[in-house]
C-alpha cells in the first residue's frame, strides 16, 4: 500500500523533471487516498474500542492512561484532538504558555503536554462531575507546570448556575435559555474573568465553553494583544444568541486573521449539506485565529 513516505524528497524532485504533470497528480491523489484510508480504518478501530465503554473506565491510548467519563465523548475527543490535531500549533519557544478554557477530562491538555513537554498550561473546568476526572488524568500522566482552576470563565466573576449533562455539553445559565435541558443537573459554580489570566504573552488560547465564547471574548478584548494564536469553538444552538459575526469582527479588529472549520460528519452532522437554518438548527464551528505579522504577534 502507498504511504505518505513512499516518495522521498529526492524522488519527488526527480519526478518533477521526468514524470508528466498528469501522472504526478494521479500519484499524489493515490497517496492522499491511501493516507485517508488508513486514517479511516484507524478511527473505525478506535470507535469500536471506546464507544460502549462505561463511565469510569480506564483506557490506554498510546503511552497515556485515561479515565473516561463517557465512551462517545472519549472517542470524539481522541479523534479530534490526537488524530485530526485540531489544537495543534507551532510554538516559537519550547515552553509555550497555553490557556485552556473548557478542559473537560483533560484530553486537550494531554495533547499539549505530549507535544510540548515543557509547556505551561492553565486549565479551567467548572463541572463538578468532570473536574475529578481532569485532576486524575493529569496526575496519572505526570503532567507538570499545570494550574487547574475549578471555575468557568465568564465576563463576570461570582457564582452562577451550570447546567451539566455530566459528559461534554454543560453550559452556564447566563446567555442561554432559562430552562435546563431535560437530562441536565444544575450546580452552583464559581466564575472567573479570563482577562485576569491574560497578563503575559499567551502562545495558544483554546476556548470550548459551550456558548459563552462571545461574552468572554468581548470582556477581554483589550487583553487579546497578549495572545498569539487561538482556537474558539463557536456554538450555534437553539437557545443561544447568534454571535459569530461579532466574534469575527472582534478578531479582525484586534489584528487576527482567521479560518473556519466545521469538524467532520461525526462531530458536527448539523453542518452537512443540504444546508438548512431553522429555529432548531444545531452546529459547531472551529474558529482558528492567528495574529497578523503586521500586528506584532511574534
* pLDDT reported for residue 2: 35
Predicted confidence band of residue 20 (pLDDT cuts 50, 70, 90): confident
How many domains, in total, are found in the chain?
2
16 and 143 fall within a common domain: no
Lowest-confidence pick of 27-41, 60-74, 90-104, 153-167? 27-41
29 and 177 in one domain? no
| H-only helix segments in the chain | 9-18, 21-50, 71-78, 107-115, 131-140, 213-219, 244-253
Other Cβ atoms within 10 Å of 118 Cβ, number: 12
Name the one residue in this structure whose C-alpha cell is 459554580.
Answer: 189
Grid look-up 509547556 returns: 119
pLDDT band, residue 69 (cuts 50/70/90): very high
Structural domain containing residue 34: 9-44
Q: Which of 12-21, 33-42, 116-125 has the lowest mean pLDDT?
A: 12-21
Residues 171 and 289 in one domain: yes
Residue 55 covered by a domain: no
Taking the model in full, what pTM does it have?
Answer: 0.86
Q: Which pLDDT score, from 0 to 100, does residue 184 have?
A: 83
Q: What is the mean pLDDT of residues 152-156?
A: 95
Q: Are residues 18 and 130 in the same domain?
A: no
Percent of the chain topping pLDDT 90: 77
Are 116 and 26 within one domain?
no
Domain match, 152 and 255 both: yes
- Between residues 155 and 167, the one the model is more confident about: 155
Q: Is residue 3 part of a domain?
A: no
Identify the pLDDT of residue 177.
43
Quick one: which of 213, 212, 196 has its CA closest to 149? 196
156 and 28 together in one domain: no
* pLDDT band (50, 70, 90) for residue 33: low
Q: Is residue 52 part of a domain?
A: no
Q: Is residue 235 located within the same domain as residue 287?
A: yes
Q: Which SS3 state, helix, strand or coil, does residue 149 take?
A: strand
Q: What is the pLDDT of residue 190?
A: 96
From CA 125, how far away is CA 132, in angstroms rounded?
10
In this predicted model, what pLDDT tens digit does every residue of 165-180 receive, in sequence order? 877 777 775 544 444 4
Amino acid at each position: 500500500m502507498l504511504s505518505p513516505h513512499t516518495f522521498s524528497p529526492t524522488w519527488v524532485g526527480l519526478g518533477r523533471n521526468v514524470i508528466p504533470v498528469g501522472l504526478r497528480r494521479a500519484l499524489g491523489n493515490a497517496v492522499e487516498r491511501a493516507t485517508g484510508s488508513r486514517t479511516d480504518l484507524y478511527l473505525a478501530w478506535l470507535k469500536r474500542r471506546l464507544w460502549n465503554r462505561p463511565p469510569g473506565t480506564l483506557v490506554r491510548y498510546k503511552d497515556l492512561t485515561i479515565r473516561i467519563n463517557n465512551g462517545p465523548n472519549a472517542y470524539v475527543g481522541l479523534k479530534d484532538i490526537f488524530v485530526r490535531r485540531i489544537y495543534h500549533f507551532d510554538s516559537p519557544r519550547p515552553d509555550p504558555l497555553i490557556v485552556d478554557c473548557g478542559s473537560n477530562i483533560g484530553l486537550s491538555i494531554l495533547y499539549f503536554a505530549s507535544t510540548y513537554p515543557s509547556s505551561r498550561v492553565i486549565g479551567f473546568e467548572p463541572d463538578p462531575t468532570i473536574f475529578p476526572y481532569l485532576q486524575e488524568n493529569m496526575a496519572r500522566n505526570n503532567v507538570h507546570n499545570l494550574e487547574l482552576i475549578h471555575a468557568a470563565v465568564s465576563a463576570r466573576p461570582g457564582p452562577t448556575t451550570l447546567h451539566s449533562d455530566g459528559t461534554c455539553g454543560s453550559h452556564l445559565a447566563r446567555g442561554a435559555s432559562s430552562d435546563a435541558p431535560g437530562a441536565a443537573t444544575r450546580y452552583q459554580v464559581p466564575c472567573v474573568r479570563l482577562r485576569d489570566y491574560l497578563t503575559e504573552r499567551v502562545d495558544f488560547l483554546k476556548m470550548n465553553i459551550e456558548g459563552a465564547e462571545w461574552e468572554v471574548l468581548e470582556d477581554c478584548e483589550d487583553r487579546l494583544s497578549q495572545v498569539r494564536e487561538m482556537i474558539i469553538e463557536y456554538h450555534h444552538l437553539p437557545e443561544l444568541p447568534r454571535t459569530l459575526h461579532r466574534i469575527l469582527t472582534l478578531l479582525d479588529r484586534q489584528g487576527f486573521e482567521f479560518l473556519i472549520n466545521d469538524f467532520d460528519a461525526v462531530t458536527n452532522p448539523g453542518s452537512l449539506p443540504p444546508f438548512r437554518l431553522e429555529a432548531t438548527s444545531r452546529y459547531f464551528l472551529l474558529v482558528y485565529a492567528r495574529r497578523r505579522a503586521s500586528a506584532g504577534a511574534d
